[in-house]
Amino acid sequence: MSAARPSDPAVLATALTGSLVLVHDPVSRAVAPDYWDWSADAHHAAARALGAVDDALVRAAADRLAKDPADDAAAAALTGRLTELLGGPGGGGPAVDGLRAAAARTESLSRLIVQPGDPALAEPAGEAPGPAALLGSLAGAPHRDTHPVDAAVVIPFRAPAGATGRLRNLAAVLNALADQSHPRERYRVVVVESDSVPRHRDLFAPACDSHVFAPDPGRFNKSWTVNVGVVHGARPAELVCVLDGDILVDRDFVARAVERFRRPGTQAHWPFEDLLFLDPAASVRAVRTRCLEGAPEPGQERLRGVHLRRPPGGCVWLREDLFTRIGGMDERFCGWGGEDQDFVWRAERYGPMDRHRDPLVHLHHDRAAHRGDDGTPFYEEVERAGFCSWPCDADFGRLDRNAAHLAGA
């Protein structure tokens, strides 16, 4: 095996178990469809390499996991036995050598890494708490003032009628943002609802400092929605956090970020390296732990999900001056995909971007369409004009310039 590839038996065993889960679990693959497509061949090869190993324990655990990818006990058994085989003396023979090579390849190139849950959490997660329960008693009341603050958290949001998962997620995010160690009057929470009508204003406006309605009946335009939030809700704030409405944060989330910006030269950062996308049951556990039980963080180390390695979006912090200097987000992106990558590429051109390892998790919800009827990804509509071509002097965040106007611009 190449010296540049991972060789630790436990790391390789974890990669093999994860490959088997990804091959058999459409929920795990749906975390990032493009990233799955780009590494699918390697994961399938790893699964075939597992099938070539003549070991009763491996075969039994792999068969259980293939039938039920959420069987955390089977995942633990498979990873444990594979660690023994890969770390054993004498190499283990051609089949085990094939396992090493297949695992090293997937671990080296895949951006999707499965984290099985703790088998001790095998009991049912219980019913998901509803938005009303999550918003009924916030730890810190919104101040709804326009005085200067250290930071503003801008959350772009849309939930069609019947999309209960997205409502639960945003309610959990607002609950966690109300429970912060940073003084509540020193940060502002801004929810920007972009839709044909402000259908959820009555539910969420009482739980945030500013609810901004951005009228747009077309495909959801995250970029324009964020820009509206910065222009019409965040200012004046030294720091801006662009936070998706499904990222559950810990109690020190705001305080930690504010402190980091006191370091000379700091202009922007992602608060995570690899973001854990939880499955439906793990999402319920995380919400109950962080929001209803009042834990300081979601307890992500015990929860089942898929790590997306070094994602460009989900949550990014930057100085408001930097956000404005690059013209905000590219408002030509319309529909899911591409806008976060373009934004951070442009931000990093003007200011350094750091990464940290904070305990944030992504809550599960139904995935939005990311391709047109002809199968073309939405982001290709902008890709033809060129990524990073949005002008720095753009007149961004105008409430009278929605996605329909942009399409004809």
Query: Is 123 domain-assigned?
Result: no
Residue 293 sits in the same domain as residue 164: yes
Residue 247 sits in the same domain as residue 296: yes
Contacts for 256 with CB less than 8 Å, ≥ 6 apart = 271, 358
| End-to-end C-alpha distance for the chain, whole angstroms | 54
Please identify, among 63, 80, 114, the residue that sits at the C-terminal boundary of a domain. 114
Query: Is 119 domain-assigned?
Result: no
Query: Is 231 domain-assigned?
Result: yes
What pLDDT digit, counting tens, does each position of 199-238 carry?
Answer: 999 999 999 999 999 999 988 999 999 999 999 999 889 9
Give the residue with greater pLDDT, 296 vs 32: 296
Q: By the 8 A CB rule, do 6 and 102 touch?
A: no
The per-residue pLDDT for 403 is 47
pLDDT reading at 325 higher than 80: yes
- pLDDT grade, residue 409 (50/70/90)? very low
Residue 153 sits in the same domain as residue 100: no
The per-residue pLDDT for 380 is 60
What pLDDT digit, counting tens, does each position of 341-353 carry?
Answer: 999 999 999 999 9
**Is the dihedral angle over the CA atoms 214, 216, 219, 223 positive or is it negative?**
negative
If residue 26 lies in a helix (H) or strand (E), which one and from where to where?
A: helix 26-29
Give the residue with greater pLDDT, 46 vs 335: 46
- pLDDT grade, residue 406 (50/70/90)? very low
Please identify, among 87, 114, 141, the residue that sits at the C-terminal boundary of a domain. 114
The per-residue pLDDT for 257 is 98
Residue 67 sits in the same domain as residue 168: no
Q: Enumerate the β-bridge partners of residue 157.
A: 193
Domain CATH number, residue 270 = 3.90.550.10
pLDDT reading at 382 higher than 70: no
pLDDT reading at 91 higher than 90: no
Rounded distance, CA 342 to CA 100, Å?
Answer: 36
What the block records as the tokens of 240 is 């801006």
Residue 173 sits in the same domain as residue 94: no
For the entire predicted model, the pTM comes to 0.91
The per-residue pLDDT for 371 is 54
pLDDT reading at 366 higher than 80: no
Rounded distance, CA 338 to CA 112, Å?
Answer: 18
Using the structure block, give the residue that is written with the tokens 């990464």: 355
pLDDT reading at 390 higher than 70: yes
What the block records as the tokens of 217 is 């009946």
Percent of the chain with pLDDT over 70: 91
The per-residue pLDDT for 219 is 87
Query: Is 290 domain-assigned?
Result: yes
Query: Is 2 domain-assigned?
Result: no
Q: By the 8 A CB rule, do 165 and 327 touch?
A: no
What's the total number of domains in the chain? 2
Query: Is 279 domain-assigned?
Result: yes
Residue 93 sits in the same domain as residue 144: no
Please identify, among 53, 85, 114, the residue that sits at the C-terminal boundary of a domain. 114
Domain ranges, residue 26: 9-114
What pLDDT digit, counting tens, does each position of 121-147 carry?
Answer: 866 667 788 999 999 989 989 998 888
Residue 186 sits in the same domain as residue 284: yes
Residue 186 sits in the same domain as residue 40: no
The per-residue pLDDT for 146 is 82
Residue 109 sits in the same domain as residue 141: no
Query: Is 4 domain-assigned?
Result: no
